[in-house]
Chains A and B, each alone.
Chain A
Amino acid sequence: MSIQVKPIHRRFLYNGITLPDVPGLEPKAVRDLYGAQYPELFSAEIEAGPIRDGVQEFLFRKAVGTKGAARRSRRMARFVADVEAQAQGQWPQGQGHLAEASQQSATERASRAWGEFAARLLVNRTDQAVEPRIAPPSDSLAPLP
C-alpha cells in the first residue's frame, strides 16, 4: 500500500468573490493582504471550512454589517451574476439577436462596406480646401491699387 500526498487547495471567499490564494501565507496574512483593497477585511472574521475534495474554503466574514453596505453587496452580487451569465453566453436583454446578427457574414460585409464608405467620405472632405463661409466687409479690405 502506498501513501499518496495530495496538496490541499485553499479558496478564500469574501462577499461572493473568490480571492486568489497567496501561497505561503497564513489565512490571517492573506486577509490582511487583501485588506489593502477591502479595508473592512482587517476586522473580518475568518471561518475555515472542512476540506472537501482537496479544497478548503476560508470565508472572510465582516464583523459588523451596515444597511448601506448590504445594499452595496447586493450591487456587487448583481454585477458578478451579470458577468458570469455573459461569460456563459447569456446576453443582456434585447441584445442577443443583435449580437448574433452582427456575426453573420452578410452583416459583416455590409458593415465593412459602410465603414469604407464613411472613411472615403471623410478623407475626401478633409482633402477639399474649405471655402471661407464669411466674407470680410468691403471696408476692411485693402484698397485697390
Chain B
Amino acid sequence: MSAIGALPRLSAGVPKVVLPTDRIRADAGLAQYLVQAGALTDADIPETWNGVLEVCARALDGWAKHQIGPLHCLSPVFVLEVNETEDLRSSRRGQAAGYRSAKLCWIERQERQWVVGPGLEALERACAGLGAAVLAVLERAHLAYPLFTPDMARSVASYLYWYGEDDEGMALEEQCDDPDEREEMRQQMVTRELLESAFPAWACSFGARPPKRPTLRALSSKVADERLHAIVDDALALSRLHLKDEFRPDLDGEFVAWGAVLSWREDDVTVRIYDDLLNTAHQGEYCDLIGDIELPLDQPARFAEWRAAMRTRFRAIGLIDTLIHALSAGDWR
C-alpha cells in the first residue's frame, strides 16, 4: 500500500462548513426571500448543493453577467449584505432567528486609469464637437456607473485644493504669508494652469458654460471612418437610455465608488487628483458607494423591482465599457 493511500481521510459525510443553527435558519430565510422575489430560475439550481445561499449567489452572479454581457475594462461587483451581527444577536434575545433587512450596493472591483484623450481627439478631428459630445454622454451616464472624467477632476481640484474657487489664488493667499512661499507652494500643488495644459478646453470647462453644441445624432452623419462610426453608434445608444436617479446615495460621506478614471494622457494630473480625493475620503468615517439600497426582507417585491430597474443600467454599463475600450485601445495618431 502506498504512503498516500495510508493517509487519513475525512468521510464524505463530514460537512465542509459547519454553521450555527441561527445562521443556517437566517441564511435560509434570505434564500427564501430571493426565491420569492423570482431571483432564481430552474436552470440556476444544480443537482446537489452545500449551502442554499451559495446557490443564490451563483444565480445572481450569472444573471448580472448575462445582463451586462462581456466586459473589457470594467469589473462591477454587486454586494448583498446583511447585518449579521446585530440581527442574529437580537434573535438570541428571544426573537425568531433571521435577518431583517439587507443592503445592496455595487462597486468597481478594481478601478483603473484609461487613457481616452487620443481617441476623443480623433473624433474631434473627424468632426468638430464630436469628441466633446461623446465625452458628455459618458459624463451623463454617471447614474449607471460614475466615471472620473477631466471635468470631474476640475471640480474635485476646486474642492480639494482651491477652497471651492476656480483657481489656486485664494488657497495660496490663505496658506502662505510671503510671495516666495506662495510661489514654492504653487510649484508643488495642482494649479489651474496644470489642468488647462492637461486637457483641451472642450473637455474641461472653466468659468463660462460651453456654447450649445450640435447633437450627437446631427454629428454622427458626418463620420465616414468605420471605427469612429462604431463609437458614435454606441454613444448614441447610451444617450438614448433612460436612466433614473433612483439609486443615488444620500451622500453622508465622500463618494468613492468611481467606476474608472478617464485620463487624457498616461501621466497627466487626473490620477493624482483622484488619489488625493480617495485619501481624503478614507480619512473620514464613512464613504458612499453606488446604490446603497436598504431591502426589508419581508418585501420580496422590492428586490424584483430592483432587478427590473437594473436592466437599463446593465445595458448602460455594457455600453460604457465598450466605449472606454474603443477609445483607449489602439493607435489614434
Q: Are these two chains actual partners, yes or no? A: yes
Bitwise interface map of A from 27 to 38 toward B, beta carbon under 8 Å scored 1, else 0: 000000110111
Q: Which of A19, A69, A91, A92 contacts B304 (CB 8 A)?
A: A19
Residues of A in contact (CB 8 Å), total: 38
One of B37-45, B156-164, B227-235 contacting the partner: B37-45
Q: Which of A75, A78, A83 contacts B35 (CB 8 A)?
A: A83
CB distance from A102 to the nearest CB of B (A): 5
The reply on A127 being an interface residue by CB < 8 A is no
Q: How long is the Cα–Cα vector from A69 to B39 in the complex, in angstroms?
A: 18
CB distance from B41 to the nearest CB of A (A): 6
Is B38 in contact with A99, judged by CB distance below 8 angstroms?
no
Is B45 in contact with A20, judged by CB distance below 8 angstroms?
no
Within 8 A of A (CB), among B23-41: 24-25, 27-29, 31-32, 35-41
Q: Given contacts A76-B40, A83-B35, is CB(A103)–CB(B21) below 8 Å?
A: yes
Q: How long is the Cα–Cα vector from A63 to B90 in the complex, in angstroms?
A: 47
Is A99 in contact with B35, judged by CB distance below 8 angstroms?
no
CB distance from B301 to the nearest CB of A (A): 3
The reply on B19 being an interface residue by CB < 8 A is yes
Is B307 in contact with A37, judged by CB distance below 8 angstroms?
yes
Q: Given contacts A79-B49, A94-B13, is CB(A87)–CB(B29) below 8 Å?
A: yes
CB distance from B258 to the nearest CB of A (A): 29
| Contacts beyond the supplied A34-B304, A91-B21: 5 A-B pairs with Cβ under 8 Å | A22-B304, A73-B42, A75-B46, A76-B45, A84-B28
The contact sample of 23 A-B pairs, CB cut-off 8 A, is A17-B36, A19-B36, A20-B36, A20-B37, A33-B308, A36-B311, A72-B43, A75-B42, A76-B40, A76-B45, A79-B35, A82-B49, A84-B28, A84-B32, A86-B28, A86-B31, A87-B25, A87-B28, A87-B31, A89-B21, A95-B15, A95-B18, A99-B19
